Structure 1
Amino acid sequence: MRDPHSPTLRLRRLAAELKQGRENAKFTVSQAGQALGWTASKISKIETTETKRILAADLDRLMDLYKIRDPARREAMQALARDAKERGWWSKYREIFGSQALPDFEAEASVIRTFEGLVIPGLLQTPEYAEALFQGGRYTGPEDIERRVEARMARREILTRFNPVRLRVVLDEAALRRMIGGHGAMLAQLRHLLYMAELPNIDIQLLPFSAGSHAALVAPFSILEFPEHLDPPIVHVDTVTDSVFFEQPGDVERYSVAFGDIQGTAISTSQSARFITDLLRSLESEQ
Structure 2
Amino acid sequence: MPAPRELDPTYSVAAYLGHKIRREREQRDWTQQALAAKVFISRVRVAKIELGTDPPNPSLASRFDKVLGFEDDLANLARALLNAQVRDYAKAFLARQLEASAMHDFSIVVPGLLQTEEYARALLLAGQAGDPAEADRHAERRVARQEVWTRERPPWMWAVLDAAVLRRATGGRATMHSQLTKLREMCERPNINVQILPENTTMIPGSVALLTLPNGDRGAYTEGFVTGAYTEEPSRVERFQRVYDRLHADALSACASMELIEKAIEGFA
- Shorter-normalised TM range: 0.5 to 0.7
CA radius of gyration, larger in: 1
Q: Does the CA contact (< 8 Å) of 1:221 and 1:236 recur in 2?
A: yes
Q: Which amino acid aligns with 2:192?
A: I
Give the unaligned 5+ runs of structure 2. 1-75
- The reply on whether 1:225 has 2:212 as its aligned counterpart is yes
Q: Tell me if the contact between 1:120 and 1:176 (Cα under 8 Å) persists in the aligned partners.
A: no
> TM-score, with normalisation over the residues of structure 2?
0.67
Rounded Cα–Cα distance in structure 2 between residues aligned with 1:227 and 1:194: 27
What is the Cα-based RMSD across aligned positions, in Å?
1.8
- Alpha-carbon distance in 2 for matches of 1:88, 1:226: 25
Determine helix, strand or coil for the equivalent of 1:109. Answer: coil
Deviations 1:204-238 (A, max 9, x none): 0001113x22xx42320100001114xx2010112
Question: What letter corresponds to residue 107 of structure 1 in structure 2?
Answer: L
SS at match of 1:136: helix
SS in 2 for 1:137: helix
Counterpart of 2:240?
A: 255
Equivalent-residue separation in structure 2 for 1:240 and 1:209 (angstroms): 20
1:236 aligns with 2:221: yes
Contact 1:90–1:103 at 8 Å: present in 2 too? no
Does 2:262 match 1:273?
A: no
Q: Tell me if structure 2 keeps the 8 A contact 1:159–1:166.
A: no
Tell whether 2:116 aligns with 1:116.
no
- Match of 1:187? 177
1:4-23 correspondence runs (5 A): none
The count of aligned residue pairs is 192
1:1-287 paired onto structure 2 within 5 Å: 90-99=79-88, 101=91, 102-117=93-108, 119-210=109-200, 212-213=201-202, 216-229=203-216, 232-284=217-269
The alpha carbon displacement at 1:95 in A equals 5.0
Looking at structure 2, the residues matched to 240 and 89 of structure 1 have their Cα atoms a distance apart, in angstroms, of 27
2-side partners of 1:268 and 1:159: how far apart?
24
Cα distance in 1 for partners of 2:163, 2:85 equals 28
SS at match of 1:222: strand
Distance 2:195 2:147 in 1: 21
Amino acid corresponding to residue 279 of structure 1 in structure 2: A
> Percent identity of the aligned residues?
31
Q: Which residues of structure 1 form unaligned runs of 5+?
A: 1-86
Matched-pair contact (CA < 8 Å) for 2:104–2:210: yes
Q: Could you say which residue in structure 1 is the equivalent of 2:54? A: none
